A and B are shown apart, each in its own frame.
Chain A
Amino acid sequence: MVRSSFFYLILAASLLGAGLLQTQEISVNQLVLKADLVLVLVIALTLVRGLREGLLWAFGGGLLLDFLQPAVMLGGSGLLGVSSLLLIAVALAASLGQNNIFEANLIMPLATTAFATLLYRLLLLAFVNLSFLISNPTAALLRQVLPSVVINTLLAPLFYSLIGWLSRRLAPQLPSEWQ
């Protein structure tokens, strides 16, 4: 009981940390590092802990993002709940990659993260800047979508391994119906 509470406490702190870091731009000698940390965390959680927990983390993570950064930055609407809706869609997409047969290797998290990021970015663009997506689809893909797909996919093994390790060490066993 204490171990599982500790597990969820660590996850909540990680989500908060990911959200706070995501709103910063850390540059190292002109190189700008940027990743959708909350998105990658939600995908890893969905893969490791199942869709039901993934949905809850997606909802919470989305709210956190909307509070940390005014949603007005995403398109001038200032709407709370937009990020939650997008991350719930991501959790749903990520659950397609949940497969215990491949639990030990990293192909599934890599492929799932790439696919889910693609979906997230396209939905985001469609919601925020549909005219840009329609008028400049190549530029939108090359400049807004693909860089995120690459960075998030590179981060996926780290997040997946860490969440998997934490889950095996501390988390309560999931009932099969949750997976």
Chain B
Amino acid sequence: MRTSGERPLGFGRTVVLLLLLVGVSLLLILLSSGRKLDSLQATVSGVLAPLQRSVSDAGSNVSGFFGALIDAQKIKSENAELKQVNEGLMAEQAQNQRYARENEELRRMLAFKQLRPDLLNLPAQVLGHDTVGIKQAITIDRGEADGVKVGMAILSPSGFMIGQVQAVEPHRAVILLLTDTSSKVGVLVQRTNVDGVLEGRAQQGGTLLLTHVRQGDYVGKGDLIITSGTGGTFPKGLLLGQVIIVRQLDINMEQEAMINPLVDTNTLNSVLVNIGTQ
């Protein structure tokens, strides 16, 4: 039972604690904005990175396990034999699925390497996705120490561009996906060489939008969109998406097109960092 005499004392201490913690938080923000905590952040992040990688692997297993479980239940009603499948076999199946997926991604990387031998690509593992869902971003396990720099293009194992490096730490990097509303990339329509800008629209319920295409320039449904290479940030000719719908904008003498990304980034376990050309 709280007495009227105790409350002010406890309340006062809580207020002191609150002010202290807010003060420390603000101090940390101030110090890190002046990049004075970079070494501390890098050290702690370095310690936590292996844990994140383990959880990432475990997450793949859990995902595979539940996926297998749902499939098995569908089939169970049609086939009595599957009733005898035990958890051990299912776990094994989930593990095999994971190996198969990794194998498939490696084969795609190899095929892409043969297709574009001029590109120097660094394989990287996806550590995690943006936890709050406000930014369309992922984290990878390669950083400054591996030669990764801000602005480099990030490709799927099959070679489709999915985003670019937004920030780097010594051993990991943040990738801003093309679908983020702040993402803008200079592009070309592969068939007609018409140029435009590819903008992300994920936070507004869409995916990608091709803008700044002049009226009269030919863009059609099914056309492939590639990087223009202007600015020299990343190479020309990287595939980005495919035109779904073209809209004429009478007001500002331009047309725009909805673009379908060629990769589902939610299912990616590994990516390629384009570190240059040879």
Contacts and interface: CB of A to CB of B under 8 A. Distances in A.
A80 B32 contact: yes
A51 B14 contact: yes
Contacts of B51: 16, 20
Interface of A: 16, 20-29, 32, 34, 36, 51-52, 55-56, 58-59, 62-63, 65, 67-82, 84-85, 88, 92, 121, 124-125, 128-129, 132, 136, 139-140, 143-144, 147-148, 175-179
Interface stretch (B59-67, B80-88, B189-197, B243-251): B59-67
A21 B240 CA distance: 30
B63 A177 contact: no
Nearest to A177: B10
A67 B49 CA distance: 10
Contact of B137 (A28, A73, A124, A179): A73
A71 B10 CA distance: 34
Nearest to B51: A20
Interface string B219-244: 00000000000000000000000000
B29 A29 contact: no
B252 interface: no
A36 B131 contact: yes
Contacts of B62: 26
Contact of A84 (B28, B59, B135, B172): B28
A59 B48 contact: no
Given A24-B128, A76-B166, 8 more contacts: A26-B63, A81-B25, A84-B28, A136-B204, A139-B204, A143-B205, A176-B6, A177-B6
B141 to A, nearest CB: 13
B167 A76 contact: yes
Contacts of B9: 177
A73 B25 contact: no
The list of the 7 closest CB pairs from A to B, nearest first, reads A177-B10, A81-B28, A23-B128, A80-B32, A72-B167, A24-B59, A81-B25
B25 A62 contact: yes
B139 interface: yes
B35 to A, nearest CB: 8
Nearest to B6: A177
A41 to B, nearest CB: 14
A8 B6 CA distance: 26
Contacts of A92: 18
5 contacts: A29-B70, A67-B48, A76-B166, A132-B181, A176-B3
B27 interface: yes
B266 A25 contact: yes
A67 B133 CA distance: 17
B149 to A, nearest CB: 15
Contacts of A62: 25
A30 to B, nearest CB: 8
A42 B252 CA distance: 50
Interface residues of B, number: 61
A16 B63 CA distance: 20
B25 A88 contact: yes
A92 B130 CA distance: 25
Given A23-B52, A27-B267, A70-B174, A176 B132 contact: no
B33 interface: yes
A51 B17 CA distance: 10
B22 interface: yes
Given A73-B130, A73-B174, A28 B52 contact: no
Contacts of A75: 135
A128 B131 CA distance: 13
B128 A59 contact: no
B134 A144 contact: yes
Interface string B5-17: 0110111011001
B89 interface: no
B212 interface: no
B28 A80 contact: yes
A26 B58 CA distance: 10
B203 interface: yes
B96 interface: no
A33 B129 CA distance: 12
Contacts of B21: 55-56, 58-59, 84, 88
Contact of B127 (A23, A139, A143): A23
